[in-house]
């Protein structure tokens, strides 16, 4: 878990812990495998540094933009009571949203960082948005509501946290977890 304030984009708190995953990865069921460990990390933060409990949590995964409209960001948000935003690096092809020519042309139309377009189900319900997170990245991220936040606020906060393609809290967590593995388990393939 990494905490980064929006304005300063520096890590204020770091918590790395090796865990044993007992469930296999199954697409659409990531929350059942990972939420318990994320909740434990938030509980440790609340015990150790309660003043640093985040106002919003960014999750490397989906929220409403999910097969059952209830991804990892929704699970974590509901169980923690904190506002959560799901940010996925890859398009989850679900409910009529596909990597089609139309989708590719919408991506090409994103001119600058902050530009986005809705990801609407076949029913018309907006499940999230594709966001060009920075001027430097032409490949979007897929932002969706997890809990206690609107899709527009989720997109705004995600864009505000991006120096590069991925929001800084997620990017730092990815980087530092790989560094943790390299340091503590040098023989592991990271």
Domains for the chain: give ranges and CATH numbers. 8-184 (3.30.2170.10)
For residue 88, the surrounding DSSP H or E stretch is strand 84-88
User: 5 pLDDT band (50/70/90 cuts)?
Assistant: low
User: 12 pLDDT band (50/70/90 cuts)?
Assistant: confident
User: 11 pLDDT band (50/70/90 cuts)?
Assistant: confident
pLDDT at 57: 97
Check whether 43 has a pLDDT greater than 80: yes
- Quick check: 143 and 129 in contact, CB under 8 A? yes
Q: Picking from 3-17, 50-64, 164-178, which range would have the lowest pLDDT averaged per residue?
A: 3-17
More confident residue, 17 or 74: 74
pTM: 0.92
Quote the tokens at residue 64.
């409403």
First to last CA, the chain: 18
More confident residue, 11 or 71: 71
Q: Within 10 A of 187 (CB to CB), how many other CB atoms are there?
A: 4
pLDDT at 37: 96
DSSP, collapsed to helix, strand or coil, labels residue 146 as strand
**DSSP β-bridge partners for residue 120:** 126
Q: Picking from 21-35, 81-95, 129-143, which range would have the lowest pLDDT averaged per residue?
A: 21-35
Check whether 7 has a pLDDT greater than 70: no
């Amino acid at each position: 878990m990494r905490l980064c304030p929006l304005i300063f984009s520096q890590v204020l708190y770091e918590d790395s812990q090796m865990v044993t995953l007992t469930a296999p990865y199954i697409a659409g069921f990531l929350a059942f495998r990972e939420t318990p460990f994320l909740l434990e990390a938030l509980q440790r933060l609340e015990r150790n540094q309660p003043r640093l409990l985040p106002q919003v949590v960014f999750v490397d995964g989906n929220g409403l933009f999910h097969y059952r409209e209830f991804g990892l960001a929704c699970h974590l948000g509901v169980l923690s009571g904190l506002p959560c935003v799901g940010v996925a690096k890859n398009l989850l092809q679900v409910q009529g949203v596909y990597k089609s020519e139309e989708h590719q042309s919408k991506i090409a139309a994103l001119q600058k960082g902050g530009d986005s377009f809705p990801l609407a189900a076949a029913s018309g319900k907006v499940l999230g948005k594709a966001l060009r997170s920075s001027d430097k990245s032409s490949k979007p991220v897929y932002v969706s509501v997890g809990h206690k936040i609107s899709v527009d606020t989720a997109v705004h906060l995600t864009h505000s946290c991006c120096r590069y393609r991925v929001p800084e809290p997620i990017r730092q967590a990815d980087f530092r977890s790989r560094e943790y593995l390299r340091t503590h388990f040098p023989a592991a393939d990271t």
